[in-house]
């Protein structure tokens, strides 16, 4: 029984109240990932609102990526996209392994001398040349992450080598990072981040920084990623091997 109460004196429009109830049901695992949600008719009856209101609420949650209608007409609780373990994978690989279609929108692609910040993070001398990639990353047409990458220029012959996946381009010439240091923390999106991700100002997200190292020990990549909190999860495989 996922039905909560629609607040009689609540100011929010009914469809938003319905969304709140569905969100709570999903967060509290009353509805699990991949589970079919009750039909529009049943929800309308249980919550005593019109089917149009229910449909509007569900449409919104589908657009948000919380629900999915991919399997015919039935509506499911969507699986969050995320990396399947703390392996050194790329965004493209993460999404493909989740059965999602990765795609990027480029904000910019350029080269130049390192900034003081980049030089410090990557341990480089001030006149080292780097590439900079700024992208919004999508899974099945839904914006998942905003990503800023700085890469040592000597890792790739030209900017044009990168069309989709940076790691794929690096892998082709044996320059893919083999080890990385990663730091994650929670953030609330700024206006610009929210705009790029189709989210709201202040929405919760993951901020992940990755410093990638080549086989010879040199740092080659520094990436800052802002993942939508409602579209990504981080799953780690843990061993007690000592």
- Residue 150's H or E segment, with its range, is strand 142-152
Of residues 68 through 127, those in contact with ligand 16G by CB under 6 A are 90-92
Phi, psi for residue 228 in degrees, rounded to 5: -65, 130
Nearer to ligand 16G, 3 or 96 (CB): 96
Nearer to ligand 16G, 75 or 150 (CB): 150
Nearer to ligand 16G, 52 or 159 (CB): 159
Cα–Cα distance between 193 and 210 in angstroms, integer?
18
Binding mask 167-206 for ligand 16G (x = CB under 6 A): xx--------------------------------------
- Residue 76's H or E segment, with its range, is strand 76-77
Give yes or no for residue 39 binding ligand 16G (CB under 6 A): no
Cα–Cα distance between 163 and 148 in angstroms, integer?
15
Give least dist CB 171 to ligand 16G, A. 9
Give least dist CB 153 to ligand 16G, A. 15
Inter-helix orientation angle 14-27/40-47, to 10°: 110
N residues, the chain: 242
> Which range, of 8-16, 26-34, 44-52, 160-168, touches ligand 16G by CB under 6 A?
160-168
Nearer to ligand 16G, 17 or 175 (CB): 175
> Which range, of 17-25, 34-42, 55-63, 165-173, touches ligand 16G by CB under 6 A?
165-173
Q: How many CA atoms lie within 13 A of 154 on its CB side?
A: 8
H helix intervals, the chain? 14-27, 40-47, 51-64, 91-97, 116-122, 166-172, 191-197
Nearer to ligand 16G, 18 or 162 (CB): 162
Nearer to ligand 16G, 65 or 102 (CB): 102
Please identify which residue in 225, 226, 228, 231 interacts with ligand 16G, judged by CB under 6 A: 225
Give yes or no for residue 226 binding ligand 16G (CB under 6 A): no
- Residue 149's H or E segment, with its range, is strand 142-152
Cα–Cα distance between 144 and 105 in angstroms, integer?
11
Residues that bind ligand 16G (CB under 6 A): 90-92, 147, 149, 165-168, 208, 210, 221, 223, 225
């Amino acid at each position: 029984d996922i039905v909560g109460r629609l607040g009689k004196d609540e100011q929010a429009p009914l469809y938003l109240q319905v969304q709140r109830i569905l969100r709570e049901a999903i967060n509290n695992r009353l509805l699990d990932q991949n589970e079919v949600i009750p039909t529009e008719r049943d929800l309308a009856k249980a919550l005593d609102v019109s089917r149009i209101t229910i449909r509007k609420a569900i449409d919104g949650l589908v657009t948000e990526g919380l629900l999915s209608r991919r399997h015919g007409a039935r509506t499911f609780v969507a699986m969050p996209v995320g990396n399947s373990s703390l392996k050194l994978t790329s965004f493209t690989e993460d999404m493909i392994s989740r059965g999602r279609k990765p795609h990027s929108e480029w904000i910019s692609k350029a080269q130049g001398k390192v900034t003081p910040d980049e030089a410090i993070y990557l341990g480089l001398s001030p006149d080292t040349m780097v590439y900079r990639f700024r992208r919004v990353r999508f899974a099945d047409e839904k914006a998942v992450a905003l990503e800023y990458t700085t890469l040592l220029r000597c890792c790739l012959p030209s900017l044009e080598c990168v069309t989709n996946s940076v790691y794929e381009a690096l892998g082709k010439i044996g320059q893919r990072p083999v080890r990385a240091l990663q730091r994650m923390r929670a953030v609330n999106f700024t206006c610009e981040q929210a705009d790029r991700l189709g989210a709201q100002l202040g929405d919760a997200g993951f901020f992940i920084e990755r410093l990638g190292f080549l086989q010879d020990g040199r740092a080659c990549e520094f990436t800052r990623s802002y993942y939508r909190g409602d579209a990504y999860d981080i799953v780690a495989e843990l061993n007690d091997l000592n």
